[in-house]
């Protein structure tokens, strides 16, 4: 099982990942999240599909929220109660998939 990272390690890892936010320190579960804005609904939904396929291959699944061309993704490893290196890697992959899916500049 992956071990949760401490808050300082998470913050340091997010420094080079623009737009990712960490829940407040007093939250019951530490989560990282980011909201993406796409050109249209089809681009947003395509992005969600790409992330879903990647997540299934990794057996690690995010929480999605979609509103027209906007998608918010949240990552945490519930089984260990926090953020792991896998969550940070998945966030990095999401950023690349977003660019490939028609991210609005």
Residue 83 lies in a domain: yes
Instruction: Tell me how many domains the chain contains.
Output: 1
Residue 1 lies in a domain: no
Length of the chain: 105
Residue 57 lies in a domain: yes
- CATH code of the domain in which 15 resides: 3.30.1360.20
pTM to 2 decimal places: 0.92
CA distance 64 to 19: 16
| Kind and range of the H or E run holding 57 | helix 41-58
Residue 70 lies in a domain: yes
Residue 55 lies in a domain: yes
For the stretch 43-88, pLDDT in tens is 999 999 999 999 999 999 999 999 999 999 999 998 888 999 999 9
Of residues 36, 34, 12, the one with CA closest to residue 23 = 34
Q: Which pLDDT belongs to residue 28? A: 84
Domain residues for 29? 7-100
Opening angle at CA 32, ends 26 and 36, nearest 5: 135
């Amino acid at each position: 099982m992956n071990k949760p990272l401490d808050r300082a390690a998470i913050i340091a890892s997010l420094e080079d990942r623009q737009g990712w936010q960490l829940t407040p320190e007093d939250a019951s579960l530490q989560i990282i999240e980011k909201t993406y804005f796409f050109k249209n609904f089809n681009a947003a939904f395509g992005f969600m599909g790409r992330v879903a396929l990647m997540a299934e291959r990794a057996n690690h699944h995010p929480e999605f929220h979609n509103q027209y061309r906007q998608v918010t993704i949240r990552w945490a490893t519930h089984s260990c109660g926090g953020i792991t290196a896998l969550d940070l890697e998945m966030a990095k992959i999401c950023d690349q998939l977003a660019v490939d899916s028609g991210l609005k500049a």
